[in-house]
Structure 1
């Protein structure tokens, strides 16, 4: 019996290690396809890795946060796009903890189900007898071509055509869970990096969604389990950080291997003997390992609080968001150092460094780890009044 055949008895880290070799060998294929090949997505599903964030009560793994990060990180060492699709599919499973039991079992009951989605409220939902009628178009639909169910954020509109307003004055924004067959997958993902994620646009036209298949990830209450005390948006950022840390580790390893063989033009010494190479590799190691340590510390402290108290405080959420953004920025700096140090060798398609360089600079553009997250956390450190709804 193979490891994939008995995934329920196997931990996510071992599964990631078992899958990594095949994924690394197919990195060029994944990028050329501009999406995750369906057979790889199905292996993720069969292994149970897509179920890392689904409650055990619904047949999921309910994986502790740091194990989730390490699992994604290990796959990212093999290929950033594949790891990105994994964490998107896995984190979308957190929605199950917010759904009524019957709806959660209907959508996530199949152990091989694949889900994806975008929370950004790019849709509009009108109340109808059956629930909601949804129209909209969403960007960054990573893994949507592989999914059985696709989610999209939508403002619920009132009879006057304006967004409904909640008691706190905020618009009513709900995640709508739609059957993949009801969604139009568009062909827009022509990009510089993370090409293999298939993060194309998708659209809904008059798709009817039962009310039980919609959630408010900010105001609805999830199952009272430690994992679901984590903010869903913060958890998304953790996945991005895991991908970039894994890619940074591979970039360093690639450079060290290259440096022994490469003698820069105009030099009589291999790159490995150059003092600047020593400096840059040391700096890259420090960037990656210190950022990883901060992320592990923040994640561990938050999970301990969730286990003990059932909630995660604003300071813990602040530190999680800061640690994730810092990890992404530090990984990008480390990768830049390795890409530059490799010289002309890094520009060829045969070099993993060029793909890692392109991939990380797409990851840095994601709103969950972009510059404004530092402004948000900085305000909290300064003791200023701050909207923490999406922290």
Structure 2
């Protein structure tokens, strides 16, 4: 599908959302259900396979890869839902889920339900979803529910898209094709057992995919899309470099020593960051399969994801800079690649505070492992 997705990248960006027909093709290919349990018709794929697919999609078009990443990591929660709700949400092979993990909403316990109200930003791909999740703080009789460690209790509420209002706020610099506008709910009733917490609940499916750290998988999904985008930026520059000549010069960009050196450094940086991510995922997958996941590997997953995402942005910037004035025009892919790379770095899962969080673990300091 990658060539077709790449050919439609400009259209996706112009629409500021993933086109509905393209979303349907991705759904039919199973690319939104890579993390869904096999018994629900999903692939239950190993993390390395999920991340490889997202990197290919990111290479074709970062916005499309981003939508697949959000839908796919949301669908991971299928393994935590009770069977009846899991079937209701995921039995349709074309069902697309999305939403926002962050607890920007409020859920008031009311009998067997929660009454959910809130507004969530960055609801990527939401226009194509049949179900949307919204993270919400839990309130009992007007009081905020807290966990044993004193932190606020929050859960992800699965809500039918028909109960959600989508608000078009997405006029962004990059990743314009993701349709990452706001979503809002007003006193929506959600059965309490149609909510999920990766912090306090245990998965109902025994597969090692569901022992793998879910926040690590989300962070690495972002990194995989960013990595694909950077690989494509290097490809775009290489195609340009063999033909473009500077004004008054008979040599192509590829024949200039400074260009050769900078390009080589960019290649080395990106592939080193990819190798770190691959090795860390392999180690974590082994631990997930043996049931011995450590805080150290959880931290290293987040570290590898942050390093790869930010290295990918730097490499994309290098390709853009080396291309010169050719890359500034809207029709050139490097201009879109640059903007997409910079917006990807703004996600909270790979934001600068991740360095501090993972550094605490690596230095042996007491750290709340729930955040990993």
* C-alpha distance in 2 between matches for 1:132 and 1:380: 36
Structure 2 residue 224 is matched with structure 1 residue 224: no
Give the equivalent residue in structure 2 for 1:187: 168
> Cα distance, 1:333 vs. partner?
1.0
Give the equivalent residue in structure 2 for 1:200: 181
Structure 2 residue 113 is matched with structure 1 residue 131: yes
Deviations for 1:14-37, whole angstroms, at most 9, x for unmatched residues?
A: xxxxx1111111111000000000
> Cα distance, 1:267 vs. partner?
2.8
* C-alpha distance in 1 between matches for 2:40 and 2:150: 34
Give the equivalent residue in structure 1 for 2:51: 69
Give the equivalent residue in structure 2 for 1:45: 27
Give the RMSD, CA atoms, in angstroms. 1.0
> Cα distance, 1:360 vs. partner?
0.5
* C-alpha distance in 2 between matches for 1:188 and 1:377: 33
Aligned to 1:325, the other structure's residue is in SS state helix
> Cα distance, 1:349 vs. partner?
1.2
Structure 2 residue 353 is matched with structure 1 residue 372: yes
Give the equivalent residue in structure 2 for 1:7: none
> Cα distance, 1:166 vs. partner?
2.4
* C-alpha distance in 1 between matches for 2:304 and 2:81: 29
Deviations for 1:28-70, whole angstroms, at most 9, x for unmatched residues?
A: 1000000000111111111111110011122210010011111
For residues 130-149 of structure 1, the aligned pairs below 5 Å read 130-149=112-131
1:350 aligned to 313, 323, 331, which one?
331
* C-alpha distance in 2 between matches for 1:76 and 1:217: 26
Deviations for 1:135-172, whole angstroms, at most 9, x for unmatched residues?
A: 0000110011110000000011121x331112332211
Give the equivalent residue in structure 1 for 2:260: 278
TM-score after normalising by structure 1: 0.93
Give the equivalent residue in structure 2 for 1:152: 134
> Cα distance, 1:325 vs. partner?
0.5
> Cα distance, 1:101 vs. partner?
1.2
2:148 aligned to 157, 167, 178, which one?
167
Give the equivalent residue in structure 2 for 1:36: 18
TM-score after normalising by structure 2: 0.98
> Cα distance, 1:183 vs. partner?
0.1
> Cα distance, 1:258 vs. partner?
0.3
Deviations for 1:57-104, whole angstroms, at most 9, x for unmatched residues?
A: 222100100111110101111100000001111111111111111111
> Cα distance, 1:268 vs. partner?
3.0
Structure 2 residue 302 is matched with structure 1 residue 321: yes
Structure 2 residue 265 is matched with structure 1 residue 265: no
Give the equivalent residue in structure 2 for 1:111: 93
Aligned to 2:32, the other structure's residue is in SS state helix
1:299 aligned to 277, 281, 295, which one?
281
Structure 2 residue 18 is matched with structure 1 residue 54: no
1:240 aligned to 222, 225, 229, which one?
222
* C-alpha distance in 1 between matches for 2:293 and 2:7: 40
Q: Is the 8 A contact 1:130 1:208 kept in 2?
A: no
Equivalent pairs, count: 371
Deviations for 1:116-151, whole angstroms, at most 9, x for unmatched residues?
A: 011111100111235111000001100111100000
> Cα distance, 1:379 vs. partner?
1.0
Q: Is the 8 A contact 1:364 1:370 kept in 2?
A: yes
* C-alpha distance in 1 between matches for 2:328 and 2:123: 28
Aligned to 2:301, the other structure's residue is in SS state helix
* C-alpha distance in 2 between matches for 1:346 and 1:70: 28
Q: Is the 8 A contact 1:50 1:86 kept in 2?
A: yes
> Where does structure 1 differ by over 3 angstroms across 4 or more consecutive aligned residues?
none
Aligned to 1:193, the other structure's residue is in SS state coil
For residues 7-46 of structure 1, the aligned pairs below 5 Å read 19-46=1-28
